[in-house]
Structure formats: C-alpha cells, structure tokens
Homo-oligomer: A and B are copies of this chain.
Amino acid sequence: MTGSATPGAGAPAFADVAGRLADAAARIAMKYFRRDLAVDDKTDLSPVTSADREAEAAMRDILGAAFPEHGIYGEELGKDRIDAEYVWVLDPIDGTQSFVTGKPLFGTLIALTRLGVPVLGVIDAPALNERWLGIAGRPTTFNGAPARVRGCAELGRAWLYATSPQMFPGGDFDAFERLRGRVRRAVYGAECYAYGLLASGHVDLVAEATMQPYDFLALAPIVAGAGGIITDWRGEPLTLGSGGRVLAAGDARIHGAALEVLAG
C-alpha cells in the first residue's frame, strides 16, 4: 500500500469526530489550567500533568465508540493498532510549558493519518477559543472561516518562530542559528500555536526540532490547506515515520531558501 493524500469518503464523519475530540480535551484542559498542578518530569523532562492523561483518555473513549477499527497513537497512553488504515494521533496538551506557567497558547493537537499520511489536523487552543482545522484537499479554517497564509518572497523579510533555542540538539542548533541570522526576526515561545499563526498569515516561518509525530502530524494538513508548505528539514513530506525536524513556511519561495540555509 502507498500513502493516500485524501481522507476518503469518511471525511465528514472524521471532521465531526475530530471536533468532538477537541471539545472533550478542551473541557478537561480548562478544568486544570491555572490551577495548582502537580507537574512531574518524564525522562525527557517534558512536564506532564493530570490534564494531559485525562484528556487523552476522554478522546480515546470517543474514538473507541466512533471508529473501533481505527488505530490510536497518543502522547500519553501509547499506541494501539497503528498498522490500521486510519490512525488518530493525539497530543492532548501540546505546549505543556505554556500550560503549566498559565500562558494561554497551549493547544490540543489531533491528526488523522491514512496509511501513514496525515489527512486531517486540528490545533485547538481552548484558553483562547481558537481552532484551526485542516483536511487534505480542502481549505483550512480558523474558527470556521477560511485561513490563508501570506506571501513573503525573501528570507530577510520573514518572521520566524521556534519554541525555544534549547530545542535544537547539536548541529541542529547551528543550523537554526544560521537561519535566524538570515531572517528578519526570530520569536520564541509559541509551540503549536505558531503553526496556527502561520496558517492565518501572521508569521512566515516556523523551524523546530526534537518533535514527535503527535507534535507535528496535525500541523501538516492545516499548513498545506492554508496554502503553505510544511516538510522535514530535507524537504520531505511529514508522515508517521518522519524524524523530528519540521520546517513550515507560508510561501514556497522562502521554504526552499530556508531548507538551503538549514542544510548549510
């Protein structure tokens, strides 16, 4: 089997369920946001909260009832049937650093992959009541209205986002620093929200590393459906099997230029 670029005939049902997943995660996230949190460290030092686990469990319940044959790959609770044609990839609270410090930019990320290729994506920012929805082959929406990237012909004019300069290991940091030296300005600290801002035409580039499939798969249909381009740092499409380096651009011209700068 080869990857398919469309969600298939189930698209309306998939979009409906994705919305219910985001609603369920939002209710739980907001119950914990800005409350006293027991934040513990996993081995990779990401903060993990009760909200994270409870929100993923709620989403799994919905998926188990709606699509029992689909696979699920969640940040918190692991992988089930990920060799299925359709796999839901869930990050209940992306931006845990925002979440645990009271900053309202965290989001729930929901992706649906078909044969490993992301065909639907949601970024939901419950503290802001903002939601981006991307479905392969359709225009991306922001709170139901069309979202569209902006043009940016030159790297030197581009606003670049990354969550933190500390997210780049070894040579990736040098590559990021080269890119930072070529753009108009690098801004930090927005996690998944940066890709929403890019899809809505407020930001030109996002370059990140050390990301997991549940961090990046949801972003792909959103950026693509808004007219942008999102790949790994070699220019390859993002799939379940991609590494953790992501480059998103609103304009293909600076995407190509940024790839060259990252490659050195």
Nearest CB of chain B from residue A51's CB, rounded to whole Å: 14
CB–CB A101/B197 < 8 A: yes
A residues lining the B interface (CB < 8 Å) = 34, 45, 47, 97-98, 100-105, 128, 159, 161, 163-166, 185-190, 193, 197, 200, 202-203
Across the interface, name the chain B residue whose C-beta is closest to A193: B103
* CB within 8 Å for A202 and B34 given contacts A188-B188, A189-B190, A193-B103: yes
Is B104 a contact of A187 with CB atoms below 8 Å?
A: no
A188 to B207, alpha carbons, bound, how many Å?
A: 15
**Cβ–Cβ < 8 Å partners of A187 in chain B:** 97-98, 101, 103, 164, 189
Contact B104 A103 (CB under 8 A): no
Of B47, B166, B186, B193, which is within 8 A of A186 by CB? B166
In angstroms, how far is the closest chain B Cβ from the Cβ of A66?
A: 33
Q: Which of B128, B161, B200 contacts A104 (CB 8 A)?
A: B128
Cross-interface CB contact of A101 among B101, B163, B164, B203, cutoff 8 Å: B203
Q: How long is the Cα–Cα vector from A102 to B104 in the complex, in angstroms?
A: 14
